[in-house]
Amino acid sequence: MARGTVFCVWWAVLAWTSGPVSAQALGALIQVQGQPLAGGRVSGSAVVPLERARGGDTPVLTFATDRGPVRLLLDTGATSSMVRPELAARLGLRPLPLAPGSLRLAGGGADCQSLRPQRLPLPPLRMGGLRLVGVEALMLPVAALPAGVDGVLGVPSLRLLPVAVDPLAQQLSLGPRALAPRSLGPRSLGLQPRQTLPLRWFRGVPLVGLQTLAGRVEALADSGAEGLFLSPALAARLHPLNHPEPLEMVGFCGIQTVQRQSFVGLAFAPPLSGAQAPPESWQPAALEPAALEQPREGIITQNPIFSQLGVAAIVGQELLRQRRQLWRLDLKEPRLELW
């Protein structure tokens, strides 16, 4: 079995820590040991209305099967797809046990050892003219997912096709039609110029560069994350706009205390000149000052994913939800294009 692969899901609802805290949810889990499951085979294309998770901004993919609908978050930060046990029961699917010790998980809280995931082959998934066959998922009791969502579609499937997300036209395109001239709407709407961000694969997930006034850092590019999650070390390098607000979040492995705070001084980094360079040799590149002056709301957290990936942040919908996006995880040199 491969070691060091990472499976993560971030979907958070926050609660104030002052007074009793009701059970709120944080989906945050990493797979630190075990082989990612099969992403299947893809054919065709689809262009559908953009659907968001209830109470958030993460795109939701609604698939049809011969046994009933399957609703999955679009999650570029997950090295395996994942579903709730309720989906298997509803569709009459039979999970397959994993060998003891073949999979090790970590996440928010300290009780990850009690999780007992199983492998679940999914029936053929259809969306418009798109068809996914042979997708496997981890089956886990995932209370942290938003209401009405059965799980996440992870990187093994998303590496098979281009994906375009257009929040202005409220449209989602998958497959070759994501590359059509109209897939991201008219180009003459006074939008910012296209920004092409190189991505770097590490342990099965895509990493992206972020720029701060103190230099450049790496982050997980995670469409399945509702917010912008910051390590304490990175938060200390930014300029706060208010006092931190203590919060508690319930994760897969217990309750985790975090802080919410708004900052300036963080933006997507421009591409490096020349060949891709290792992080230790990165140098700050030219960047529009206005980008670093944009307020960002961050969740400051001590979570194993930072050390497992060697990143300082997890970039989710806080930086993506208002941008047109073209995810090219299907390329040999992956990239994210933004408008």
Question: Chain-wide mean pLDDT for the chain?
Answer: 82
3-state DSSP assignment of residue 103: coil
Cα angle for residues 289, 292, 298 (degrees, 5° grid): 175
Distances in whole angstroms, Cα of residue 227 to Cα of each of 195, 216, 221, 305: 21, 20, 11, 15
Confidence (pLDDT) at 267: 93
Residue 60 is predicted with a pLDDT of 97
Low-confidence ranges of the chain (pLDDT < 70): 1-34, 101-115, 142-144, 181-193, 250-254, 273-289
Q: Are 38 and 135 in contact (CB under 8 A)?
A: yes
What pLDDT is attached to residue 6?
54
Residue 277 CB partners (closer than 8 Å, separation 6+): none
Question: Per this entry, what is the length of the chain?
Answer: 339
Distance CA 215, CA 213 (A): 6
Q: What is the 3-state secondary structure (H, E, C) of 137-183?
A: EEECCCCCCCCCCCEEECHHHHCCCCEEEECCCCEEEECHHHHCCCC
Radius of gyration, alpha carbons of the chain: 19
Q: What is the pTM of this model?
A: 0.87
Q: Output the CA–CA distances (angstroms, integers) from residue 40 to 59, 74, 131, in the order listed.
A: 21, 16, 10
**What pLDDT is stored for residue 176 in this prediction?**
95
pLDDT digits (tens, 9 = 90+) for 73-122: 999 988 889 899 999 999 999 999 877 766 666 555 555 566 677 899 99
**Cα–Cα distance for residue pair 88/336, rounded to 1 Å:** 33
Helices within the chain (DSSP H only): 85-91, 155-158, 232-235, 289-292, 304-309, 317-320
Domains, the chain, with CATH or none: 11-179 (2.40.70.10), 195-338 (2.40.70.10)
- Beta-strand ranges (E) seen in 222-321 are 228-230, 239-240, 245-251, 254-264, 266-268, 296-300, 313-315
Please answer whether residues 282 and 246 qualify as being in contact, where contact means their C-beta atoms are separated by less than 8 angstroms. Answer: no
Phi-psi sector, 68: left (phi>0), alpha (psi -120 to 50), beta: left
User: Which secondary structure element, helix H or strand E, spans residue 111, and what is its range?
Assistant: none
- In this structure, are residues 213 and 265 in contact, taking their beta carbons and an 8 Å threshold? yes
Tell me what pLDDT residue 254 has. 61
**49 burial type by CB count under 10 A (0-12 exposed, 13-18 middle, 19+ buried):** exposed
